[in-house]
């Protein structure tokens, strides 16, 4: 899969280096390069691309301001001379960030990660419908496959979700609980609280409208979801 991309960087030297790297990478196609973020914004409004290499700190308009001006965002790799912008890149849902001066091995690694992410994203719904047993989640700058059977419960935390697994450490991702809920099979997962989705297959103990896990975790079943959860219990209850 080839990716159409553009570069936005106010430093001509950085722009030329990235152009050279793109030309060396068989699956990247350079559609344009800009030292002016405003011109890049106008171009992107009419010419959508797959991938954007974007400097964060620019004089007329910052990279973040450019992103906020787009109705449809391409996938993003930030380029910056400042490591403290890594968190800003994560919040902006960047696939990766490259710290200047950029060498080709780091560039290629980020570009391959972008290709993997974009390919997974475009085929996401087809994969889930065909397999019905996993999804891809972006966590920090990694793309992680999570099997539905490995999820114990999912906790909503403002702009993030925390996916608690039956084995291993929880995984954090910049997603809303609502958007993630839409991709989970209804037969296996249920929203039981405004902040919790549970895997019904991992429930062992229910006590006073609370789900109790063997590690001591307690998840309340709120009034809003009580009837639906009770219906699940009734259907699987034996006297």
Q: How confident is the model at residue 92 (pLDDT cuts 50, 70, 90)?
A: low
Per-residue pLDDT at 68: 81
What's the helix, strand, coil split of the chain in %, to 5?
Answer: 35, 30, 30
Structure tokens belonging to residue 168: 């291993």
- Intervals of CATH 2.40.50.1020 along the chain: 132-235
Kindly tell me if the per-residue pLDDT of 88 is higher than 70.
no
Per-residue pLDDT at 128: 38
Mean pLDDT score of the chain: 85
CB atoms under 10 Å from CB of 223, counted, come to 9
Instruction: Using CA atoms of 7, 118, 182, 219 in order, give the dihedral in degrees to the nearest 10.
Output: -90
Homologous superfamily in CATH for domain 3-122: Response regulator (3.40.50.2300)
Edge to edge, the sheet with strand 160-165 lists 171-173, 160-165, 151-157, 196-199, 189-193
Following DSSP, what letter does each residue of 134-164 receive, concatenated?
Answer: EEEEEETTEEEEEEGGGEEEEEEETTEEEEE
Structure tokens belonging to residue 130: 């065909």
Q: Give pairs for 11-17: CB < 8 Å, separation 24+.
A: 11/35, 11/55, 14/55, 14/79, 14/100, 14/102, 17/101, 17/102
Kindly tell me if the per-residue pLDDT of 16 is higher than 50.
yes
Per-residue pLDDT at 132: 67
- Give 185-221 pLDDT, tens digit per residue: 888 999 999 999 999 999 999 998 899 998 889 999 9
The stretch 9-14 carries a mean pLDDT of 91
Kindly tell me if the per-residue pLDDT of 54 is higher than 80.
yes
Per-residue pLDDT at 126: 37
- Positive or negative, the CA dihedral 110, 112, 115, 118 is negative
Per-residue pLDDT at 85: 57
Per-residue pLDDT at 220: 94
pTM of the model: 0.55
- Intervals of CATH 3.40.50.2300 along the chain: 3-122
Length of the chain, please? 239
132-235: CATH topology is OB fold (Dihydrolipoamide Acetyltransferase, E2P) (2.40.50)
Per-residue pLDDT at 129: 43
Question: 3-state class of 133 per DSSP?
Answer: coil
Point out the least confidently predicted range of 10-24, 40-54, 128-142.
Answer: 128-142
Question: 3-state class of 32 per DSSP?
Answer: strand
Structure tokens belonging to residue 79: 């380029």
- Positive or negative, the CA dihedral 159, 164, 165, 169 is positive
Kindly tell me if the per-residue pLDDT of 90 is higher than 80.
no
Report the alpha-carbon distance of residue 14 to residue 99 in Å, rounded: 11
The stretch 141-166 carries a mean pLDDT of 89
């Amino acid at each position: 899969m080839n990716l159409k991309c553009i570069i936005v960087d106010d430093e001509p030297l950085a722009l030329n280096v990235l152009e050279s790297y793109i030309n060396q990478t068989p699956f990247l196609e350079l559609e344009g390069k800009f030292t002016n973020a405003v011109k890049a914004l106008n171009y992107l409004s009419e010419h959508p691309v797959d991938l954007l290499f974007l400097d964060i700190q620019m004089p007329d308009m910052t990279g973040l301001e450019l992103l906020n001006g787009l109705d449809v965002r391409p996938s993003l790799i930030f380029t910056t001379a400042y490591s403290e912008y890594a968190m800003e890149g994560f919040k902006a849902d960047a696939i990766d960030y490259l710290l200047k001066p950029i060498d080709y091995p780091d560039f290629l690694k980020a570009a391959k990660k972008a290709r993997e992410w974009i390919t997974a994203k475009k085929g996401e719904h087809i994969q889930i419908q065909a397999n019905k047993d996993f999804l891809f989640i972006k966590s920090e700058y990694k793309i992680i496959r999570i099997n539905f059977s490995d999820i114990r419960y999912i906790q909503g935390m403002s702009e993030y979700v925390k996916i608690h697994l039956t084995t291993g450490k929880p995984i954090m991702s910049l997603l809303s609980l609502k958007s993630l809920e839409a991709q989970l099979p209804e037969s296996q997962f249920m929203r039981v609280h405004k902040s919790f989705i549970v895997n019904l297959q991992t429930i062992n103990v229910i006590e006073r409208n609370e789900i109790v896990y063997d590690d001591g975790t307690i998840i309340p079943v709120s009034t809003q979801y009580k009837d639906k959860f009770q219906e699940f219990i009734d259907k699987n209850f034996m006297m």
